[in-house]
Amino acid sequence: MKIAVLASEGAPYAKSGGLGDVMEALPAALARIPGNEVVLILPYYKKIKENPAYETEQVAQFNVALGWRQQYAGIHALKNRTDGVRVYFIDNLYYFAGRDGVLYGHGDDGERYAYFSKACLDALVALDFIPDVIQCNDWQTAPVPTFLKAQYKPLFPHTKCMFTIHNIEYQGWAQSDFFDDVLALPWEYRGCLDMDGAVNVMKAAIETCDLVTTVSESYARELMYPYYAHGLDGVIGNAAWKLTGITNGIDTDIFNPETDPALPAHYNADTLAAGKAACKAALQQEVGLPVRPDVPLMVMVTRLAGHKGLDLLCHIARRLLWENDCQLLILGTGEHHYEQFFTDLAREFPDQAAAKITFNLGLASRIYAGGDIYLMPSKSEPCGLSQMNAMRYGTVPVVHATGGLKDTVPPVDENGQGGLGFTFQSYNADDFYGALKRCLDLYTDHPQAFRDLQCTDMRQDFSWNIPAGRYMTLFHQMLDR
């Protein structure tokens, strides 16, 4: 099958969050399936273009018509990828390669990604790669199914399009004149792009694509409710017949405690005790906490954003540290008030709390390995990957039972049996504290049961093999329709 995966980010080239990780592993997993040809198209961001590790060759160039604009696109093929995925970058100085800093948030993102969406379709034509299936992701590539249906059908007569929602919070809203000025679609598409008198590209994608997926089964169900759907519950409800949840995997080659080059010691489920003890001691030392093997070390690697459940943690943090002999370590950047809170907390409890307000992948790995307990109280979580990373490294998760957290962390009882981690049902600080307390008690009072749970977590298969197979089943369903 010929598959084109289109996305605004993909590790290792450019990544701002979980989407980038998925775009690293999913295309590779699809390419491992015999008979598949997989193309991945990404924007040529400045930091990719300037990185000598990514050697490319320009294979096509053309202009993209975007309303009244004619915008250049250069197609650069990556030369040194060895896993069978053909990677192409779309080069445009004005929209991507000439801009510094963050991937998103430039004020004209709507136009930048409408351009990218259209350029991807033009690139597939220029490359003479007319796919059976296009898989596109989140609001940035949400214009693709609508462009495909409205303007590219003759060039892609049999191509089916899957739209995947990684996070419905960001929908690609624009003012109503965006429809004519940038998208320049035929008037009969005005209705599907319209939402409350403005333009919403994610809404249009849900309506015009052949299948909608999201990144966990529970999140697919949650999207029917206003609380989770951020205004799109009605649109999702109408599209329910074509909506499926496929829980993400993680790249188990990259996230592997036996080989991860960032770790001071390596281990697997059989050698967990010694390996993790070494990683924990090194981590405590690295972040300036007392090196104590017996004290439970709670960790979190996260964007410091509200929906990650940080308000719950802030609410109970002092009580948690006063009442329990435990340590807490946070790594991440984000909203200023959270950065300030955790910095203050670390100052107030120097023997118990540490905050690293930075983005550091190596340290993130050392935290997954050196921690005992991983906190993820997200308010909502489409899938979440770090709880799986944590389990892969034998760190027991304590999570809010929502979205992908619910699907990947079945709850244990107070003896640590029957599941993979500790969960709480309602989004409430006391309930979070209760779950944490049960976990801390298991750690302290039943060390063998805690160790067994760590081993069970490490032995789970979180690889992409199963989800990639499910994507294939849906691709076939679309083609058979």
SS3 category, 454: helix
* Least Cβ distance, residue 341 to ligand GLC (angstroms): 22
For ligand GLC, the binding residues (CB under 6 A) are 17-19, 22, 166-167, 215, 248, 381-385, 404
Check if the beta carbon of residue 381 is closer than 8 Å to that of residue 245: no
* Least Cβ distance, residue 357 to ligand GLC (angstroms): 20
* Least Cβ distance, residue 434 to ligand GLC (angstroms): 24
Taking alpha carbons only, the member of 480, 476, 478 closest to residue 35 is: 476
* Least Cβ distance, residue 220 to ligand GLC (angstroms): 12
Positive or negative: CA dihedral 135, 141, 147, 149? positive
Which CB sits closer to ligand GLC, 25 or 134? 25
Rounded to whole angstroms, the Cα distance separating 464 from 254 reads 12
Write the DSSP string, 346-374: HHH-TTTEEEE-S--HHHHHHHHHH-SEE
Which CB sits closer to ligand GLC, 402 or 454? 402
Taking alpha carbons only, the member of 134, 132, 202 closest to residue 162 is: 134
* Least Cβ distance, residue 173 to ligand GLC (angstroms): 18
Positive or negative: CA dihedral 120, 122, 126, 130? positive
Rounded to whole angstroms, the Cα distance separating 360 from 367 reads 11
Query: 56: which strand partners?
Result: 78
- Position closest to ligand GLC via CB: 18
Question: What is the identity of the amino acid at 108?
Answer: D
Check if the beta carbon of residue 129 is closer than 8 Å to that of residue 120: no
* Least Cβ distance, residue 27 to ligand GLC (angstroms): 14
Which CB sits closer to ligand GLC, 367 or 399? 399
* Least Cβ distance, residue 239 to ligand GLC (angstroms): 19
Which CB sits closer to ligand GLC, 352 or 395? 395
With a CB cutoff of 8 Å and minimum separation 6, the contacts of 264 are: 278, 279, 282, 366
Which CB sits closer to ligand GLC, 17 or 67? 17
With a CB cutoff of 8 Å and minimum separation 6, the contacts of 84 are: 28, 31, 32, 38
Which CB sits closer to ligand GLC, 15 or 47? 15
Which CB sits closer to ligand GLC, 366 or 406? 406
